[in-house]
Amino acid sequence: MRRSPSAADFAAQRADMVEWQLRRRGIRDQSVLNAMAAVPRELFVPERYRKRAYADSALPIGHGQTISQPWIVAAICEALALEGSERVLEVGTGSGYSAAVLAMLAAEVITIERIEELAIAARQLLAELGITNVEVVVADGSAGFPDRAPYEAIAVHATAPSPPRTLIRQLAPGGRLVIPIASDGADMLTVFRRLEGKLDPMTGEGLQRTVIGPCRFVPLVGSEGYPE
Ligand code: SAH
């Protein structure tokens, strides 16, 4: 029987992942590369997929959900343009992996998951790793989390039919929302930046929109997403 990979094997795979999947594919933000080189992705993957933790793909995490491909996590984090002082809202905790990466890039992360079992497992793992600046909330995140708004950055890890207006309203002036938006056939990873001054989420006034590229995500299920 082949032995299971050791922590050192995983560390080597992680370094290769950062080099081949991220840096050589255009991720430039050094703080994002450092964070992805530090977070042990293998711990966020179910036991039976652990050997594939650093594969260039999404992997199942149960409940019909997935942990995103490493490149996608990096692309989202880079698009958020974090400097370290921000309060970040994340929608779609899933395994907690991207929350652990964001925790290294921002001051405070509030992450929302609608499936309670996933949220509980993520909360426990983040605590075991000594990550103290992430709060895991069980709720419908399609309408954001107004209690702690505004946010300098919002990351959504599930595809919305259109940009959720409530989320846009929770952006601080200058804040960035990164979200996959459904557009005939493909999901388009999109950045909405709130400009200083007047904001009208209905017309898009006061918002700057930049498309990063096609991607594939699970649907955002909720009041400003898709029905159950
Ligand atoms: N970022 C995760 C991957 C998340 S997959 C990781 O690193 O593992 C997307 C997650 O979004 C799923 O767990 C799904 O349950 C969750 N989700 C979908 N709609 C949601 C909503 N309205 N509010 C909160 N979570 C939602």
Q: How far, in Å, is the centroid of ligand 1 from the Cα of 97?
A: 11
Which residues contact residue 29 at a Cβ distance below 8 angstroms, ignoring those fewer than 6 apart?
Answer: 77, 78, 81
Residue 19 has pLDDT above 70, yes or no: yes
Residue 2 has pLDDT above 80, yes or no: no
Domains of the chain: 7-215 (3.40.50.150)
Give the single-character DSSP code of 28. -
Nearest ligand 1 atom, CA 68: 3
Ligand 1 proximity of 221 Cβ (cutoff 6 Å): yes
Query: Of all protein residues, whose CA lies closest to atom 2 belonging to ligand 1?
Result: 94
Give the C-alpha separation, 33 to 29, whole Å. Answer: 6
Which residues contact residue 221 at a Cβ distance below 8 angstroms, ignoring those fewer than 6 apart?
Answer: 114, 140, 142, 158, 227, 228
What is the pLDDT averaged over residues 201-219?
Answer: 92
Ligand 1 proximity of 201 Cβ (cutoff 6 Å): no
Query: Of all protein residues, whose CA lies closest to atom 18 belonging to ligand 1?
Result: 220
Give the C-alpha separation, 138 to 136, whole Å. Answer: 7
**Beta carbons of 196 and 137 less than 8 angstroms apart:** no
Report pLDDT for 122. 98
Percentage of the chain beyond pLDDT 70 is 99
Q: How far, in Å, is the centroid of ligand 1 from the Cα of 221?
A: 9
Residue 1 is encoded by which pair of tokens? 């029987």
**Beta carbons of 153 and 106 less than 8 angstroms apart:** yes
Mutate to test the pocket of ligand 1, among 43, 111, 126, 220 (most ligand atoms within 8 A of CB): 220
Give, rounded to a whole angstrom, the gap between the first and last alpha carbons of the chain: 43
Give the single-character DSSP code of 200. B
**Beta-carbon neighbour count of residue 38 at 10 Å?**
12
Catalytic center residues: 68
Q: Phi/psi of residue 171, each to 5°? A: -80, 135
Q: How far, in Å, is the centroid of ligand 1 from the Cα of 112?
A: 8
Question: In this predicted model, what pLDDT tens digit does every residue of 90-124 receive, in sequence order?
Answer: 999 999 999 999 999 999 999 999 999 999 999 99
Q: How far, in Å, is the centroid of ligand 1 from the Cα of 199?
A: 27
Question: In this predicted model, what pLDDT tens digit does every residue of 49-101 receive, in sequence order?
Answer: 999 999 999 999 999 999 999 999 999 999 999 999 999 999 999 999 999 99
Q: Is-above-0.95 flag for pTM?
A: yes
**Beta-carbon neighbour count of residue 198 at 10 Å?**
7
Report pLDDT for 3. 76
Mutate to test the pocket of ligand 1, among 221, 223, 224 (most ligand atoms within 8 A of CB): 221
> Please, is 190 exposed, middle or buried when counting C-beta atoms within 10 Å of its C-beta (0-12, 13-18, 19+)?
buried
Rounded to 5°, angle at Cα 198 from 192 and 199: 40
Question: In this predicted model, what pLDDT tens digit does every residue of 116-145 receive, in sequence order?
Answer: 999 999 999 999 999 999 999 999 999 999
Residue found under tokens 């846009």: 168
What is the pLDDT averaged over residues 155-171?
Answer: 96
* Contacts made by residues 22-25, CB under 8 angstroms, sequence distance 24+: 22/70, 22/71, 22/74, 25/71
Give the single-character DSSP code of 185. T
